[in-house]
């Protein structure tokens, strides 16, 4: 199979992901990831946060508040996303990551 380069693709083709959801966007690790994605300028970033979160997030980040005990709120927040980045603290409840992964699958996040 011959290689095809991005500049030879039809109009509208993109070779990067655009919609990125980040869990822990205001945390010790996530804030650095969000800052770098914003600098690139090609991504629409959505912060997935708890309903009671008071983290301050940079301008340009969409915030979707979720309830980890309500799977439908997680699925709804993840619909249309192309990537899910999870940067939760090690102190987070152990089942939260599983709930996020299951919701991402239900929302068809690739």
Residue 90 lies in a domain: yes
Looking at residue 46, its pLDDT comes to 98
Residue 7 lies in a domain: no
Q: E strands along the chain, which residues?
A: 19-23, 44-50, 61-66, 83-86
Residue 70 lies in a domain: yes
Counting the structural domains of the chain, the total is: 1
Full-model pTM: 0.87
C-alpha span between 49 and 46 (Å, rounded): 9
Residue 88 lies in a domain: yes
- pLDDT tens per residue across span 84-93: 999 998 899 9
Residue 36 lies in a domain: yes
pLDDT band at 15 (very low <50, low <70, confident <90, very high): confident
- Which contacts qualify for 13-18: CB closer than 8 Å, 24 or more apart? 16/42, 16/43, 17/43, 17/82, 17/83, 18/42, 18/43, 18/44, 18/82
| 3-class secondary-structure state, position 37 | helix
**Whole domain around residue 87: which residue ranges?**
19-107
Residue 96 lies in a domain: yes
Do residues 49 and 72 lie in contact, with contact meaning Cβ atoms separated by under 8 Å? no
- pLDDT tens per residue across span 28-50: 999 999 999 999 999 999 999 99
Tell me the average pLDDT across 92-97.
92
pLDDT of residue 6 exceeding 80, the answer is no
User: Looking at residue 98, which CATH number applies to its domain?
Assistant: 3.40.50.720
């Amino acid at each position: 199979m011959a290689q095809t380069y991005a500049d030879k693709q039809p109009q509208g083709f993109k070779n990067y992901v655009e919609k990125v959801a980040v869990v822990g966007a205001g945390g010790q690790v996530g804030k650095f990831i969000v800052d770098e994605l914003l600098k690139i300028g090609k991504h629409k970033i959505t912060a997935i946060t708890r309903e009671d979160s008071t983290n301050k997030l940079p301008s340009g980040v969409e915030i979707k508040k979720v309830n980890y005990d309500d799977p439908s709120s997680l699925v709804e927040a993840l619909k249309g996303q192309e990537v899910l980045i999870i940067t939760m603290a090690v102190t987070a409840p152990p089942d939260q990551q599983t709930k996020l992964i299951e919701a991402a699958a239900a929302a068809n996040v690739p």
